[in-house]
Structure 1
Amino acid sequence: MTRTLITGGLVVTAAEEIHADVLVEGGRIAALAAPGTQQWTAEHVIDATHKYVIPGGVDAHTHMEMPFGGTFAADSFESGTRAAAWGGTTTIIDFAIQSPGQSLRAGLDAWHAKADGKCAIDYGFHMIMADVNESSLKEMDQLVGEGVTSFKLFTAYPGVFFSDDGQILRAMQRASGNGGTVMMHAENDLAIDVLVQQALERGETDPRYHGEVRKALLEAEATHRVIKLAQVAGAPLYVVHVSAREALAEITRARNEGLPVFGETCPQYLFLSTDNLAEPDFEGAKYVCSTPLRPKDHQEALWRGLRTNDLQVVSTDHCPFCFSGQKELGRGDFSKIPNGLPGVENRMDLLHQAVVDGHITRRRWIEIACAAPARMFGLYGKKGTIAPGADADVVIYDPTAQQTLSAATHHMAVDYSAYEGRNITGRVETVLSRGEVVLDRGEFTGRAGHGAYLARGISQYLR
């Protein structure tokens, strides 16, 4: 049984920061000890002096190979998970999609066929419900028992994923009984569609109008509505990709009332803004996503929400479409631009930059990027921490290294970077996934198929 010893580093978890040696054996953390106090022997020794030793990141919101608007997200499970590893993420939870008229099981099986044997890191699935009916509600119970414990519904995308209030309530009622968690994309898209049509009739076709019609108040209204539906159902609620301070205020109010309501935001809402959507020569199309980017003055509210724990998780909503041939489908009509941004490789570095900039602490960085998503989706103890018995998903992180984010150097299968030219302090140096070195001092040593499928428990916030 191969042993790896990581010496000399500062171990940073959500709970503590300690100088410790870390012993890895059989793919798991075997022990931690004060430096030099144990005479451990190991086949592989990693010197982490002057570096952080942190848990591998858990990205709880990705869309590899997702179909959208007649095209597909540019990253396969193989390329996307390889890029994730480059960025210090060792677990993703992607979204299997139920096609209208089909079963949840058929959707889950289709996503297993895409991912199994191809992932470079460990992976699990949420389930997108396109149909809420008696059959799919029964399937929810079965899937929870098999480790698919979260279900995403939409108040957006009429004709594709949209569920009405009655359907949402029924799914929430089912989740309240089976231990599952309902995840909501909360925007009032029936109203947004009216604004889209009116904008196009006025000749307002550029990418910046995507942000203008998807109004913050309509995100807040839908967030308020799904919170109240969850309250009626007696169910927990996880609101994905919160972008607007008004929507965050609804979540904060619910949490102050003691409701089991949780929120996620994404790096694009913390670091990008409507200024990017307004970039000339159709460049703004690169930044079209839903919920949309907001004016810069929303960012401080989101950072504050992360500090106060009204937002618990930062995920990427990684859904990359190339500018050439994909984003360009919306030239002349912003509503036809595929919605999504690349970012699975950048999240850990951007959040470390937030530590450098004083927005969050080191431990909060690990909390929102590793521990909280693992707890939220039934993986903590196995993922999200460095402790005896946990999977040896470990990142050696150089907090002083300088890098410039660029499409020229990233490993995502997309032809642009949403953070092109941004200077970052901090860089992933070495990554272990279940004890196997998949990134060795800047050289990828992993392989497709190393990643294991994760059957998840219920949310550990609800136990």
Structure 2
Amino acid sequence: MEFDTVVRNGIIANASECILGQDIGIKDGLIACIGIGLPVSASTSVIDAQGGYITPGGVDSHVHLEQWNTPTGDTWETGTRSAVCGGTTTVLCFASQNQTDQSVLPVVEDYLGLAKGRSACDYGIHLILTNPTKEVVEKELPLLVRYSGITSVKLYMTYHPMKLGDREILDIMVATRRLGITTMVHAENHDMIELIIETLEQRGQVEPYYQAVSRPKIAEAEATYRAISLSELMDTPILLVHVSSELAAKHIRDAQTRMLPIYGETCPQYLYLLSDRLRGENFEGAKCVCSPPLRERPEDTDAMWTSIANGTFTTFSSDHAATKFYAEGGKRLGLINGRPVFAKIPNGLPGLETRLPLLFKGVEEGRITIQDFVRVASSNPAKLYGVTRKGAVLPGYDADLCIWYPTGKLEPFVLKNSMLHHDIDYTPFEDMTFTNWPRYTLLRGKMGWNRDDGGFIGKFGGGNYIKRTVSALAGPRNVFVNEWRPPI
């Protein structure tokens, strides 16, 4: 066979093993062969990994781009460019239903229209449900699964415009269980948070730091336990997104020990940042406002690393929900007449491009293995969300590759926001030191990022829409309502 590209001299890393001394042969955008001494012709491109790791392209399954409620965030162009430059080749973003929308079909159509012809990487869509009418749940969700390949929904247990009650969540779970839809849950106790916010505002404690105070760990832990209970009642698999605290992770771990189909996700900010970052002068702390918030104690960041290493967390996502700091409508919405009001600060941090490098630091520091890295950053997100042909360096899979520098090859550098390729005016990881970074990113065999020569060389519109299948981890539960029995 004549290959389009051959990648040599690297350590191929998958979720279960590493392979040394073998080449990767790429043909027509797919990995055609892995073997020793693959032949090359005059027309074959050869990439020398020089002893660096070759991992699957990242699958970032929790990304917010160009949503109607983030007017100063990244666009499809700037966000996916940033993804490719950070080693990510697939993003899953959110079409968000407004509470006044009676149908989700136009919501999905409009959002897909925004992405068409603009994405630099492959992409798929989740649906955020905020008005789960009988028509939407019973008729429209099956249509989206069958015709659009949208096989995941996200539900919120907090936020006034998005919050669903327990009964609404249960009704949705009936449908998602039958359809094999992955059900994502943002778990925080809304009433606890509202009470604390009101109390803090009455006391005049409204600086950005108090955003973390207003959303304590117990609010996340209670809602996590409740979501697990709803899932157990309905025998519906769920993913608890952006878990930030040791107690919430323990609830997930305990449920998994009881063999319940409960999955967890965490994000870079919960591995590295603490709530002291919210105390910055000149309102700078607003840059680190996210929900759930940054936690106070290093024990929680350590627990997040442990939960990746021991398999509690299924996925590791950026939750890229970027909002500019200086632009009108950005983070400084929380400055009202020069006075800080933390409850008005838009939530979310930028992190698409830095997700994989930050997780790779954990490999270098011995916190996790390279197999753990691949499992949570690529292979499990692909399995959980029905993204076939992604997440592994194996024959028949898309030739989506992230090639790293060999140990010691890259001179350590201090990260500056100006080095990144998003369209956000800050990064919360400014001034961190890195000793590795994606050297090359290949999307279906085509080089999109070459850190040594040209930087971003991908193509806007080069990304394909992925019609996803049902989850390989959380597929349909063959239990129908007339056969249903409550769990013992």
Same topology, TM > 0.5:
yes
1:297 corresponding residue in structure 2: 299
2:222 corresponding residue in structure 1: 221
Letter in 1 for 2:433: N
Letter in 1 for 2:34: L
SS in 2 for 1:193: helix
Of 326, 329, 344, the residue aligned with 2:352 is: 344
> Which deviates more from structure 2 when the two are superposed, residues 405-414 or residues 1-10?
1-10
Matches of 1:66 and 1:209 in 2, distance apart?
27
1:424 corresponding residue in structure 2: 434
Instruction: Give matches, 1:227-266, under 5 Å.
Output: 227-266=228-267
Matches of 1:127 and 1:251 in 2, distance apart?
23
Matches of 1:273 and 1:346 in 2, distance apart?
17
2:392 corresponding residue in structure 1: 385
> Structure 1 residue 153 and structure 2 residue 161: aligned?
no
Matches of 1:111 and 1:339 in 2, distance apart?
21
Shift of 1:280: 2.6
Letter in 1 for 2:232: Q
2:372 corresponding residue in structure 1: 364
Please say if residues 64 and 73 of structure 1, whose CA atoms lie closer than 8 Å, have aligned partners that are also in contact. no
SS in 2 for 1:62: coil
1:27 corresponding residue in structure 2: 29
Describe the superposition over 1:146-197 as per-residue Cα deviations: whole angstroms up to 9, x where unpaired. Answer: 3111110100112x11100110000011111111121000001122112111
1:269 corresponding residue in structure 2: 270
Please say if residues 144 and 179 of structure 1, whose CA atoms lie closer than 8 Å, have aligned partners that are also in contact. no
Matches of 1:83 and 1:48 in 2, distance apart?
22
1:96 corresponding residue in structure 2: 95
Over the matched positions of the two proteins, sequence identity in percent amounts to 37
CA RMSD of aligned residues (A): 1.3
1:87 corresponding residue in structure 2: 86
Of 328, 334, 339, the residue aligned with 2:332 is: 328
Please say if residues 244 and 292 of structure 2, whose CA atoms lie closer than 8 Å, have aligned partners that are also in contact. yes
Shift of 1:22: 0.5
> Which deviates more from structure 2 when the two are superposed, residues 281-290 or residues 138-147?
138-147
SS in 2 for 1:92: strand
Describe the superposition over 1:323-360 as per-residue Cα deviations: whole angstroms up to 9, x where unpaired. Answer: 11311110221000010000000011001101111110
Describe the superposition over 1:415-444 as per-residue Cα deviations: whole angstroms up to 9, x where unpaired. Answer: 011100000121111111011111124421
2:480 corresponding residue in structure 1: none
What TM-score, normalized by structure 1, do the two folds share? 0.96
Matches of 1:175 and 1:399 in 2, distance apart?
44
> Which deviates more from structure 2 when the two are superposed, residues 187-196 or residues 285-294?
187-196
Please say if residues 403 and 427 of structure 1, whose CA atoms lie closer than 8 Å, have aligned partners that are also in contact. no
Shift of 1:212: 0.3
Please say if residues 442 and 448 of structure 2, whose CA atoms lie closer than 8 Å, have aligned partners that are also in contact. yes
Shift of 1:51: 1.6
Shift of 1:281: 2.4
Matches of 2:451 and 2:167 in 1, distance apart?
52
Please say if residues 399 and 425 of structure 1, whose CA atoms lie closer than 8 Å, have aligned partners that are also in contact. no
Count of aligned pairs between the two proteins: 457
Gaps of 5+ in 1: none
2:65 corresponding residue in structure 1: 64
Letter in 2 for 1:386: V
Relative to total residues, which structure has the larger strand share, 1 or 2?
1
Letter in 2 for 1:134: K
1:399–1:8 CA distance, 2 compared to 1 (3 A): closer
Instruction: Give matches, 1:98-177, under 5 Å.
Output: 98-102=97-101, 103-138=103-138, 139-146=140-147, 147-158=149-160, 160-177=161-178
> Which deviates more from structure 2 when the two are superposed, residues 122-131 or residues 405-414?
405-414
> Structure 1 residue 450 and structure 2 residue 462: aligned?
yes
Please say if residues 66 and 319 of structure 1, whose CA atoms lie closer than 8 Å, have aligned partners that are also in contact. no
Matches of 2:54 and 2:202 in 1, distance apart?
55
Letter in 1 for 2:264: G
> Which deviates more from structure 2 when the two are superposed, residues 201-210 or residues 8-17?
8-17
Shift of 1:397: 0.9
SS in 2 for 1:254: helix
1:195 corresponding residue in structure 2: 196
> Which deviates more from structure 2 when the two are superposed, residues 103-112 or residues 78-87?
103-112
Shift of 1:43: 2.3
Matches of 2:255 and 2:245 in 1, distance apart?
16
Describe the superposition over 1:56-112 as per-residue Cα deviations: whole angstroms up to 9, x where unpaired. Answer: 0000000011233xx524200110000000000000000111122321111111210
Please say if residues 395 and 431 of structure 1, whose CA atoms lie closer than 8 Å, have aligned partners that are also in contact. yes
Shift of 1:49: 1.4
Shift of 1:398: 0.7
Of 388, 394, 399, the residue aligned with 2:401 is: 394
Gaps of 5+ in 2: 476-488
2:361 corresponding residue in structure 1: 353
